[in-house]
Structure 1
Amino acid sequence: MTVFVEAVAIGLAIAAPVGPIGLLCIERTLHHGPARGLATGLGAATADAVYASLGAAGMGVVIGWLTALAAPLALTGSALLLYLGIATLRRPQAAGAAQAKEGGSLLGAYSSALALTLSNPMTILSFIAVFAGLAGGHAPGNGEALLMVLGVFSGSAVWWLLLAYGGGRLLSRLGGRGRRWVDRLCGLLLIGFAGLIAWRVLPTIVAF
């Protein structure tokens, strides 16, 4: 159980820094309610669990394949972030709570966050290093690997639950003007993340 607790802490640490998924969770919680925000976070947590599974298994062939696809996947993620950022900036101010909760679906929120998080396959390398430390430098057994993966998912899911429902209560107190400023901030930051990812990846493609 020590391994599980440590993996939960790792999942929390991976999910907690404010990044594009965190911004999406905040934005969707603000306009569509905490359930939509939680679905977004669980999509990211599922992607973390997928990469954690590969990292725990130490699948060298899969790792090499994902590394080779890192640049195109990262550019795809950059394009998705750009689209989401522009859509957030262009979002009309909701006339009321009922209108704010319209549009999209829980499955759409989940799948978009899953795809966006999976567009960064280099995350698996971090999990390999972390799990090597948790396992004491040896390949983890099946039971130990399962505990690690479940721990990462649980820790990540707990963070998104707190952000969606705890943060949702705070966001619900904002007036129309406050909501619009949150939209602008989230939209600009999402576009900024898209530009940063593209700036990091394009030189590697040009060099190739």
Structure 2
Amino acid sequence: MSLYFTYVMIGLAIAMPVGAITVEMTKQGLKNGFIHGWAVGIGGMTIDLLLIMALYLGLANFLALPYIQMPLWIVGAVFLLILAYDSIKNADKDITLAGEKVTKSFFSTYRNGILVASSPGNLVFWVSVFGAVLADSFAENGANQFIIVALGILTGILMHDIGLLTIVSLTRKVMNRNMIKWTSIIAGILLFGFACYFIYEFIIDLKNFI
């Protein structure tokens, strides 16, 4: 059990830094409430689970190859630029204030979570961080305890998502439509920033490759 709780803490630490999935989760949580914000988080965790399976099968190493990573950074940047544009353009749409009936479907926000998490650039980022932790645990603890380690990390990520969305849900109760609209615009700007980061990583990898 100590191994499990150790990796729960590591999962929390991995999820803490603000990333594209956190931005999208917060935006949807403010616009449509806890469940829709969590739907984004579940979409992200779906990709996390697939990454764990890929690493276990040895497929994640393929994404770590330099000539595979470089185009993925660019494609990932395009993914995030599209999401950033949509977030800013539709900032005043699909807003449901606390107490109002939500019209947006759970599946559509879950799909958003999958899209953000499966952005190629995001996959490269997570393989480098998330994959390194899992690869190290696989080497140290072997295949038998790999599942415990993976479950610990996923539990930590889940705890982070629930904690964040609880705060978002409480904040949403005192926010009006205009405040939520500007939050969506800020989220779009942040997503644009992550896209620029992916482009920067592409340039660095290209220089190193040449």
Aligned partner of 2:79 in structure 1 is 80
8 Å contact kept, 1:88–1:184: yes
- Displacement, 1:93? 2.1
After TM superposition, list the pairs within 5 Å mapping 1:102-113 onto structure 2: 102=104, 105-113=108-116
Q: Distance in 1 between matches of 2:161 and 2:52?
A: 18
- The share of aligned pairs that are identical, in percent, is 22
Question: Structure 1's 116 and 34: CA in aligned 2 closer, same or farther, altered over 3 A?
Answer: farther
Contact 2:41 2:161 in 1 (8 A): yes
Instruction: State the one-letter code of the partner of 2:118.
Output: A
The alignment covers a number of residue pairs equal to 203
Q: C-alpha distance in 1, partners of 2:115/2:47?
A: 11
Q: 1:92 to 1:47 in 2, by over 3 A?
A: closer
Shift of 1:81: 1.1
Superposed displacement of residue 204, structure 1: 3.1
- Cα deviation, 1:119-145, whole Å, max 9, x if unaligned, reads 42353343454346657x63x333310
Q: 1 CA distance for matches of 2:162 and 2:203? A: 35
Shift of 1:3: 1.0
Q: Which amino acid aligns with 1:67?
A: A
**Deviation digits for residues 159-190 of structure 1, max 9, x if unmatched?**
11222233222123211221122122111111
2:91 and 2:185 in contact (8 A); partners too: no
More moved, 101-110 vs 171-180: 101-110
Determine the structure 1 residue equivalent to 2:27. Answer: 27
Q: Using structure 1 for the length normalisation, give the TM-score.
A: 0.81
Conserved 8 A contact 2:80-2:194: yes
Does the CA contact (< 8 Å) of 1:85 and 1:191 recur in 2? yes
Paired residues for 1:40-189 under 5 Å: 40-55=40-55, 57=56, 59=58, 62-68=59-65, 69-94=68-93, 97=97, 98=100, 101-102=103-104, 105-116=108-119, 119-127=122-130, 129-131=132-134, 134=137, 138=140, 140-189=141-190
Q: CA RMSD in A?
A: 2.8
- Change in CA separation of 1:9 and 1:52 when aligned onto 2, cut-off 3 Å: farther
Unaligned runs of 5+ in 1: none
Stretches of structure 2 lacking an aligned partner (at least 5 in a row): none
**In 2: Cα distance, 1:64 partner to 1:134 partner:** 15
CA contact (8 A) 2:91 2:184 kept: no
